[in-house]
Amino acid sequence: MLIILNNKCNFTLNQFKQYSQELTTIKTQHELVLCPTNIYLSITPKSEIVLGAQDISMYHEGSKTGEVAAKQLKSMNVEYVIVGHSERRLYLNENDKQITEKLRRSLEQDIIPILCVGETIGDYQQVVSKQLEILKNIEHFENVIIAYEPVWAIGSGKTPTIKQINEVISFIKKIYPQNKVIYGGSINEFNISNLKSNLIDGYLLGGLSLNSERLKAFLENLE
């Protein structure tokens, strides 16, 4: 299974050094992908943990002040990138056009994009299918990992039931049978026991990713 650790905008330098050192002691059969704040990518200790980024520029490298281009991430051995997280859609007004370009830039550099989708409230079908429509404009869209993250579940301590998650993932897989689909939103070391299913290809962890001991407990309960 794919376990994506989205550190979001957390940790000072010293905190990150300690945390990332602790992560190197984790033994697991699952593929762990650490997505630190970009400035820490170069100081992440070498280990079995794969590197991911939390965002990517929609532009190619060059005169784009403040941006981090796909080619630069690739040169840092970044293998995955989160694209279209609801926090970026909300706080940075990221739109489908930008998200489409970001998916393209990632795939051009063989960085696997993790495209986040999910409803804010109410019915998921219309929102999720609309958010996924951009895949129709992407060559090799089958290489995109789809992360179902209902916005109401992010950081709220609330999760859908496993039945509801299975329903949404089945809905997604019916339209995009070749794509991997993972779940994110308030996953922790306790609720994971009730949120496992053969349909889920992995998990996207926010708050839980920040604590190595809790993460170890999660991985034990997942196995």
Q: Which residues are catalytic?
A: 85, 149
Nearer to ligand 13P, 28 or 191 (CB): 191
Q: Establish if 94 lies at the interface with ligand 13P (CB under 6 A).
A: no
Q: In the bound complex, what is the minimum distance in angstroms from residue 206's beta carbon to ligand 13P?
A: 2
Site string for ligand 13P, 132-161 (x = CB under 6 A): -----------------x----xx------
Residue whose CB is less far from ligand 13P, 108 or 201: 201
Applying the rule CB under 6 A, the residues between 163 and 192 that interact with ligand 13P are 184-187
Length of the chain measured in residues = 223
Q: Among 19-27, 71-79, 132-140, 204-212, which window interacts with ligand 13P (CB under 6 A)? A: 204-212
Which positions touch ligand 13P (CB under 6 A)?
Answer: 6, 85, 149, 154-155, 184-187, 204-208
